[in-house]
């Protein structure tokens, strides 16, 4: 297959590209600066989102598009300007994807578009599945909803569309190194009251579920990309401590985190219990169901 990927040089995108190439597929990474990218077997870089870019003409027959493009929510304080960039980067890239699809005589079979479990908002006592159709009312929910609405326009061109709502992705990059650092320094403990849900997922299952979505025509619409057993923060921290043989003992109250991070503190102080109901019903074979197994694979 020929697969086009946006955000193909990021944490998830790099792992996904490697997985496809290792299985003999050809990957076309859409990027603003193709000239400064390393040469890799099976990978072609195609310029996009530039005035002189014509990706619709340069791409060969594409079987699937995976859209992972968007400014990171993790770096920098959430000023109003930054929040606007976070939203605009996702909307503009997705609109460009739809434009490429529209210009092609032969359409891709599927668009897998990134999203986030932040769509559901936060809750201490409610569990969410793909059957929960109402978005939350905070910033991340608003971004996710608008992002998904743009992606669903692909259906107007006969393209099956999957909205992969990512949980906390555990891997050598991303959130996990920052999450385990206090434990490595012997100062780990619960954040806030520790009752907030962390709906985690191992990077191998992220790649597996994206590929499952590409390969199986029965997958469409929202797809929760999370492990079947989310953990409350305090239990998550205790498991990290157990795997690293470190104490879980120094709590960090909400107030200083809110002062330091502002609205962004909600990423770690709030959460949602999100279950991968659709993946389970359709028979996706999870590699990591238990948090301890996932952490031992990544940290030991």
**Confidence band (pLDDT; 50, 70, 90) for 261?**
confident
SS3 118: helix
* 202 Cβ contact list (under 8 Å, min separation 6): 170, 171, 227, 287, 288, 294, 297, 298
Q: What's the Cα-to-Cα distance from 58 to each of 29, 96, 98, rounded to whole Å? A: 12, 14, 16
What's the pLDDT at 147?
98
What's the pLDDT at 77?
86
**Confidence band (pLDDT; 50, 70, 90) for 257?**
confident
Q: How much of the chain exceeds pLDDT 90, in percent?
A: 92
What's the pLDDT at 250?
95
Please indicate, yes or no, whether the overall pTM of this predicted structure exceeds 0.75.
yes
Strand residues in the chain grouped as ranges (E): 2-6, 26-31, 43-47, 64-67, 110-116, 127-128, 160-166, 168-170, 197-198, 200-202, 221-225, 231-232, 273-274
The domain total for the chain is 1
Q: For residue range 29-45, what is the model confidence (pLDDT) as tens digits?
A: 999 999 889 899 999 99
What is the average per-residue pLDDT within 224-244? Answer: 98
Q: What average pLDDT does the chain have?
A: 96
We report the CATH number of the domain holding residue 162 as: 3.40.50.720
What's the pLDDT at 275?
98
Q: For residue range 116-152, what is the model confidence (pLDDT) as tens digits?
A: 999 999 999 999 999 999 999 999 999 999 999 999 9
Spatial separation of the C-alpha atoms in residues 51 and 233, rounded to whole Å: 46
**Confidence band (pLDDT; 50, 70, 90) for 238?**
very high
Query: In this structure, are residues 65 and 97 in contact, taking their beta carbons and an 8 Å threshold?
Result: yes
- Look up the domain containing 165 and give its range: 2-299
What's the pLDDT at 259?
87
**Confidence band (pLDDT; 50, 70, 90) for 260?**
confident
Tokens representing 187 are 């100062």
Spatial separation of the C-alpha atoms in residues 248 and 58, rounded to whole Å: 53
**Confidence band (pLDDT; 50, 70, 90) for 74?**
confident
Query: In this structure, are residues 202 and 171 in contact, taking their beta carbons and an 8 Å threshold?
Result: yes
Q: What's the Cα-to-Cα distance from 229 to each of 196, 225, 238, 265, 268, rounded to whole Å? A: 14, 12, 15, 24, 18
Spatial separation of the C-alpha atoms in residues 213 and 111, rounded to whole Å: 9
| Torsion sign across C-alpha atoms 148, 66, 90, 168 | positive
What is the average per-residue pLDDT within 158-174? Answer: 97
Spatial separation of the C-alpha atoms in residues 214 and 181, rounded to whole Å: 35
Q: What's the Cα-to-Cα distance from 77 to each of 86, 116, 118, 151, 188, rounded to whole Å? A: 12, 19, 18, 27, 23
Query: In this structure, are residues 223 and 130 in contact, taking their beta carbons and an 8 Å threshold?
Result: yes
Residue for token pair 């619709």: 56
């Amino acid at each position: 297959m020929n697969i086009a990927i946006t955000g193909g040089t990021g944490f998830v995108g790099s792992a996904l590209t490697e997985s496809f190439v290792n299985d003999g597929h050809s990957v076309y990474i859409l990027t603003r600066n193709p000239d400064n990218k390393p040469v890799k077997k099976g990978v072609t870089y195609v310029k996009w989102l530039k005035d002189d870019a014509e990706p619709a003409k340069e791409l060969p027959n594409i079987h699937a598009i995976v859209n992972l493009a968007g400014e990171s929510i993790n770096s920098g304080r959430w000023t109003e300007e930054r929040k606007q960039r976070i939203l605009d980067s996702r909307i503009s890239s997705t609109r460009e994807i739809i434009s490429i699809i529209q210009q092609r005589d032969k359409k891709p079979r599927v668009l897998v578009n990134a999203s986030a479990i932040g769509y559901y908002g936060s809750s201490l006592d409610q569990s969410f599945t793909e059957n929960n159709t109402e978005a939350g009312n905070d910033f991340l929910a608003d971004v996710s909803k608008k992002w998904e609405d743009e992606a669903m326009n692909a259906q107007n061109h006969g393209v099956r569309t999957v909205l992969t709502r990512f949980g906390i992705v555990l891997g050598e990059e991303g959130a996990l190194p920052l999450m385990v650092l206090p434990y490595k320094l012997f100062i780990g403990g619960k954040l806030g009251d520790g009752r907030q849900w962390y709906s985690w997922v191992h990077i191998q299952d992220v790649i597996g579920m994206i590929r499952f979505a590409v390969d199986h025509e029965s997958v469409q619409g929202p797809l929760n990309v999370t492990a079947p057993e989310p953990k409350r923060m305090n239990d998550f921290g205790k498991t990290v401590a157990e795997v690293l043989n470190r104490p879980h003992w120094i709590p960090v109250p909400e107030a200083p985190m809110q002062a330091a991070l502002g609205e962004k503190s909600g990423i770690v102080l709030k959460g949602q219990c999100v279950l991968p109901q659709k993946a389970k019903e359709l028979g996706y074979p999870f590699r990591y169901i238990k948090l301890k197994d996932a952490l031992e694979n990544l940290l030991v």
